[in-house]
Structure 1
Amino acid sequence: MTPVSSALRTPVDAPLVLERCREVVRPALREAVGRMHPWVGEMAAYSFGWCEVGGAPAASSGGKGVRQALAVLAAEAVGAPGRAGVPAAVAVELVHAFSLLHDDIMDGDPARRRRPAVWKAYGTGPAVLAGDALFALAVETLAATEAGTSAVRMLSAALGDLVRGQADDLLFAARPWTGQERVRTAEYRAMAEHKTGALLGCAAALGALLGGGPPSAVAALDRAGRRLGLAFQIVDDVLGIWGDPEVTGKPVHGDLRERKKTFPVLAALDSPSPASRRLAALLESGADPEEAAVLVEARGGRTAALDEARRHIEAAQLALADASPQGTAGDELRALSAFLVRRDL
């Protein structure tokens, strides 16, 4: 296994890897969206940051493209050209966009990447329709490949996990901050693996599948992606409390203002103490998120979250080694995982 500290010293430039993979995938992704009903396609393009409401071109960022990169690099890891993983990258990116559209509606989030969320810009009904269309297009994209049946089955399993994770996340919101019914960190891990990890694992597994990789490599890359997804989600939780608003596009202490049950908060509440009880009271009332952030850090929540993320990165790299990646893909995947866990921390 290559430890995280070693991966951080690799000469591979992770942002350049992400950009290379986006360039490989972008034409096919735009072509797929271009096949949609014009109005629905506009909403999809808006969600990707390609246009404004009404269709005028926009220069907004459409995200890092982590799932796209995993699909392309996984194809290369099994000895295929990166373009073999493009249908996988397109399908998973469409599903990810679909999940964000619906998540924003369920969570009532009015903004996404510093712009009005699709449901705020176009309406709730249209946003639901656009999400449904993106999901249908993802299935169509995979069904057209040589591994169509196996690929669609793999995507369906990941979607089942995603729905399970989303259901648990919604149920967590109604549970108390203290007592026997409070959310534990172990429950959070299971939720995050389903909600975030499953789709990253699916991206890597599909890329390897479409690249003609053996079942052992497909399974190992799935495990690596799932662990990376867990680390990615936990780092997002840290950024949701202490991240720079200029970088994250979210207000400082935003997750505390919204009283989200994130990993740092749950870890801080793990052992009873006067500080933990004070923190629970603040979270229950929604008062003084700044004091809540101080208490979460003082109770070790931030440190516990970063340690947890690093453990999952190490597990991801172990799984990656099991896949015996070919060429430079292994180095690029390791560099990508280290970059994602370190971003802006």
Structure 2
Amino acid sequence: MRYTQRLTACAGSLLLLGSLALLHAQDENRALPTNAESTRYVSQATIFAQQVEALDPNSVHDLYKIFVVLRCKDVPEVQRKALTLRILTGEYPGSPEFRWTAEPEQRRGLWVAALVALSHMHIDDASLQPFLEEHLPKWERLATVPDPELPTDLQRLKNRISPDVPMARALLARLKAVRAVPEVKSANDLERRLEVMLSEAGITHQELRQLLEEYKEKLRRGEWIAISPRAHLADHLVMEHARTLFHYAKRGMDLESVATSTDIEAFAKAVRLGETARDWSKLINSILQHRGYSSAPAQLLVDEGVAVVPVIIQKLTWAREHPKEIADTGMGVAVLLDVLATLIGKDALPLVELFLSDSNWAGRARRTKEWIEQGRVFGFNTLL
């Protein structure tokens, strides 16, 4: 499954996760074609949201559908938030007969995806703090206490969830920073939030850089287990603040000073990604010009929902007519076809079939067509 995401996404968080989504962009920044109405497309996210109780996260294909529900803005935020909380507390899946049979990474992946989605919903909202303070002690016990020593209720909970404690601690630190600095008018206010986060975590800026270097080096050498808890926490603190930078850059705040002066590469990349994501057309162009599979920008498009579909179709039509003006691998076309398949399912088939008739794209388009016909969707980067 594409769920080798755990190590690859952790590495990506230092390269900056290429990531970070669930966006609050302003409509005037979006270049939609005037002759296409996104409302004519039925969002698969809303369909999956209605089916969510019947989905089985032991199936990777159902898991990808749950990811779409968690992140896609076609699903009302209140509904997405309710699902994330149920996942984090072990109340979802709701069937009392449900048992995890998939590999452990799949269980952890669902929990982590829910926490990341929740983080995006609370960039400037600290109301989640009491929930985290209530549940973090339980999650810490699940992670540190041997199974036989856990009380019965926590043993049952451990069979339902696999929490990432450093990730939850980093989010809690960021929410405390939101309370301390509730209003953001400039990059200076965002820097103040970072200072509060580091203070809450008991880490200085210098230590943060050192811990990131430790994290990066041990990851490079394949020594995942040897990474210290503080280095894990440092990595997640960076991810949390990078999400904040991404959202503010996407909203239009001038963060050029951050991008050009920060000594943490992830922060600069978050700002640049946010600037690109202001304009869907530019975001899609970045996918078409990339030689590899751009899972992070693709995730951002899925997050936006069917409103972005006309722009994707417009760009794919252009790419088919100008194959020499995109990356020579053509991988960007494959990514965009997969995004369409995920957002609108069978409604994407007419466009996919156009690419089937062209030898440049036939192989990748055939795979996308097969997945659409099988009712499947694609997984991108839910750890951004």
Per the TM superposition, whether the score is higher than 0.5 is no
Compare CA radii of gyration and give the structure with the larger one: 2
Higher relative contact order (CA 8 A, sep 6+): 2
TM-score (norm 1): 0.30
